[in-house]
Amino acid sequence: MKNVQKHSQSKLYPSEIVTIGLLFAMRGEGERKFYRWLKGNFLHLFPKLPERTRLFRLLKSHQNWTKRFLAEPTIFGIADTYGIELIHPTREGRSERQIGKKGKSNHRFIVGCKVCFVANKYS
């Protein structure tokens, strides 16, 4: 994306548009829900974020940029997730700096995050 120049009237750089497009593709949500999530959590990273409909028109017109970074679909692929417990569930909410949320992994509750491993013809 180094050779793609920013349009003089654009508020976002091409790399920011691609990043938002990849996030939208990975989240798999509707436009409104995704925009609320993006604005609520990442406004400090994208301070010049355009209005919702303008953003999605921008993503649609530059869809080919985002497709460069997505993997081709394969017939054979395996994905597996594993929960990583960061703290015991009884200690949930005691710290303001807590990382992770309560969820179920391997038939028991944990407070932590999940790691996903993907195996396909590219790995």
> Structural domain boundaries of the chain?
14-67, 78-119
Among 1-15, 60-74, 103-117, the range scoring the smallest mean pLDDT is 1-15
Average pLDDT, the chain: 82
> Is 94 within 8 Å of 80 (Cβ atoms)?
no
Question: For residue 77, what is the DSSP state?
Answer: -
> Is 100 within 8 Å of 112 (Cβ atoms)?
yes
pLDDT of residue 9: 66
Q: Would the pLDDT of 122 be above 70?
A: no
Q: Would the pLDDT of 97 be above 60?
A: yes
Q: Would the pLDDT of 123 be above 60?
A: no
Q: How far apart are CA 39 and CA 42, in angstroms?
A: 6
Question: For residue 90, what is the DSSP state?
Answer: G
pLDDT of residue 81: 78
Strand order in the sheet with 78-87: 78-87, 108-119, 101-105
**pTM higher than 0.75:** no
Nearest one of 119, 16, 28 to 62, comparing CA atoms:
16
Q: How far apart are CA 41 and CA 109, in angstroms?
A: 26
CA dihedral 17, 22, 27, 28 (to 10 degrees): 100
Q: Would the pLDDT of 2 be above 90?
A: no
pLDDT of residue 91: 83
